[in-house]
């Protein structure tokens, strides 16, 4: 199921331990979880929210995230 995009997305980067990889949570304006994917598979994770026109912007943003900090990104 694809998500209908709104103006603001919230991101959380979760630090993995040992054999568990880092993960990214993507949440909407109501903080409902809309995507959850491995930090080393960003392009596959972005398919869950279907935003091809913003993929480059979101990818660059994810690389700058701090672990455990809820951060938002305005797309429009």
pLDDT, tens only, 17-73: 989 999 999 998 889 999 999 999 999 898 888 888 888 999 999 999 999 999 999
> Which has the closest alpha carbon to 5: 19, 22, 26?
26
Classify residue 19: in a domain, yes or no. Answer: yes
Range of the domain at 70: 8-74
Q: How many residues appear in the chain?
A: 76
Please list, in sequence order, all residues whose beta carbon lies within 8 angstroms of the beta carbon of residue 60, skipping any fewer than 6 positions away: none
Domain count within the chain = 1
Which pLDDT value is given to residue 15?
Answer: 95
Classify residue 56: in a domain, yes or no. Answer: yes
Give the confidence band of 7 by pLDDT, cuts at 50, 70, 90.
Answer: confident
Residue 2 pLDDT greater than 60, yes or no = no
> Which has the closest alpha carbon to 62: 48, 74, 49, 73?
73
Classify residue 2: in a domain, yes or no. Answer: no
Which pLDDT value is given to residue 3?
Answer: 52
pTM for this one?
0.84
Which pLDDT value is given to residue 25?
Answer: 96
Residue 1 pLDDT greater than 50, yes or no = no
């Amino acid at each position: 199921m694809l998500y209908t995009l709104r103006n603001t997305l919230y991101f959380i980067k979760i630090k993995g331990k040992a054999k568990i990889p880092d993960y990214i949570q993507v949440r909407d304006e109501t903080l409902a979880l809309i995507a959850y994917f491995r930090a080393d598979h960003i392009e596959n994770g972005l398919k869950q929210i279907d935003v091809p026109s913003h993929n480059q912007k979101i990818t660059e943003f994810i690389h700058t995230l701090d672990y455990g900090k809820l951060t938002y990104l305005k797309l429009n």
